[in-house]
């Protein structure tokens, strides 16, 4: 098994198994701890940030929500008129996504269980991948972005975990907890290094733009856009 497949298998065990209930709670309106409230607020702000860089009217556009989780971005995209393919490796999160989709949006979202890189998903005008590449090593994230770029006409909006002192502390603290309770490691990356890797891995037409960094308590994530 190569390192991309290994990471994906670990993530499936985590999101569909050990941490599934915690994630479903975070992705709902149910009360959560103070710490998780900051994560929820950060995630809401990041979703709004990523989606703000797409046209307001997405009618007729085909959009991939890559690693859609409980479908929060997919539903927001469909509400703006997009035809959405929402793919995730966790069937249990997908079940929640289907349950929470308002009926008028359901006909515009195809929920698919599987790998975000599956060629059968087809071609897209835009790709959104919120916090779904942050656990992959830089080389694997590049492989994923290059594969998605080959099937995308417009832009890709995604996040990385920025290499910041605050995040480094959180990761060290995280290591104090028992391994079974921990998420698969996040792969923080310096933006300059990421930019160099993009130039080496993607066709020359693709330009990387830094968007907002969202920092809310325990949630720190950097929005990036790749456009053809
Ligand atoms: C932190 S969650 C974010 C979910 C969603 N994007 C959101 O922001 O609410 C990361 C998601 O990516 C999914 N994921 C990770 N690797 C994947 C892959 N290779 N193919 C499809 N889904 C993947 C996980 O199952 C998980 O649901």
Contact 121, 64 (CB under 8 A): yes
First to last CA, the chain: 32
Could you list the residue range(s) of the whole structural domain that residue 99 is in?
3-227
Strand partners, 214: 221
**pLDDT string in tens for the chain (228-residue length):** 899 999 999 999 999 999 999 999 999 999 999 999 999 999 999 999 999 999 999 999 999 999 999 999 999 999 999 999 999 999 999 999 999 999 999 999 999 999 999 999 999 999 999 999 999 999 999 999 999 999 999 999 999 999 977 766 666 666 555 455 567 888 999 999 999 999 999 999 999 999 999 999 989 999 999 999
Query: Rounded to whole angstroms, how far apart are CA atoms 201 and 146?
Result: 7
Beta strands in the chain (DSSP E): 62-66, 83-88, 109-113, 124-129, 152-160, 207-216, 219-227
Q: Does the Cβ of 72 fall within 6 Å of ligand 1? A: yes
Q: Verify whether ligand 1 is closer than 6 Å to residue 130 (CB atom).
A: yes
| Domain containing residue 103: CATH number | 3.40.50.150
Query: What is the pLDDT, as a whole number, of residue 164?
Result: 79
CA dist 38 and 207 (Å) reads 32
Q: What is the pLDDT of residue 172?
A: 63
Burial of 7 (0-12, 13-18, 19+ CB in 10 A): buried
Neighbours of 177 (CB within 10 A): 10
Ligand 1 atom closest to the Cα of residue 87 is: 21
Q: How far is the CA of 21 from the centre of ligand 1 (A)?
A: 15
CA of 43, closest atom in ligand 1? 8
| Whether the CB of 69 sits within 6 Å of ligand 1 | yes
| Total domain count, the chain | 1
**pLDDT for the residue numbered 169:** 67
Residue 175 confidence (pLDDT): 57
pTM for this predicted structure: 0.95
Q: What is the pLDDT of residue 23?
A: 94
Question: Which atom of ligand 1 lies closest to the CA of 27?
Answer: 9
pLDDT of residue 174: 60
């Amino acid at each position: 098994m190569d390192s991309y497949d290994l990471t994906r298998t670990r993530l499936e065990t985590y999101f569909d198994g050990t941490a599934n209930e915690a994630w479903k709670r975070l992705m709902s309106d149910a009360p959560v701890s103070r710490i998780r409230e900051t994560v929820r607020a950060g995630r809401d702000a990041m979703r709004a940030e990523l989606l703000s860089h797409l046209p307001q009217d997405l009618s007729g556009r085909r959009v991939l929500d890559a690693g859609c989780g409980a479908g929060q971005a997919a539903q927001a995209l469909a509400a703006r008129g997009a035809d959405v393919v929402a793919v995730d490796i966790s069937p249990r999160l997908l079940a929640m996504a289907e349950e929470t989709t308002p009926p008028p949006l359901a006909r515009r979202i195809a929920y698919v269980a599987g790998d975000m890189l599956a060629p059968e998903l087809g071609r897209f005008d835009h790709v959104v991948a919120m916090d779904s590449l942050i656990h992959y090593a830089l080389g694997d994230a590049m492989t994923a972005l290059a594969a998605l770029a080959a099937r995308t006409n417009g832009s890709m909006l995604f996040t990385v975990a920025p290499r910041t002192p605050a995040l480094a502390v959180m990761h060290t603290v995280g290591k104090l907890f028992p391994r079974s309770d921990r998420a698969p490691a996040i792969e923080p990356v310096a933006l300059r290094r990421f930019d160099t890797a993009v130039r080496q891995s993607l066709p020359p037409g693709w330009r990387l733009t830094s968007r907002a960094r969202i920092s809310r308590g325990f949630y720190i994530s950097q929005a990036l856009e790749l456009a053809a």
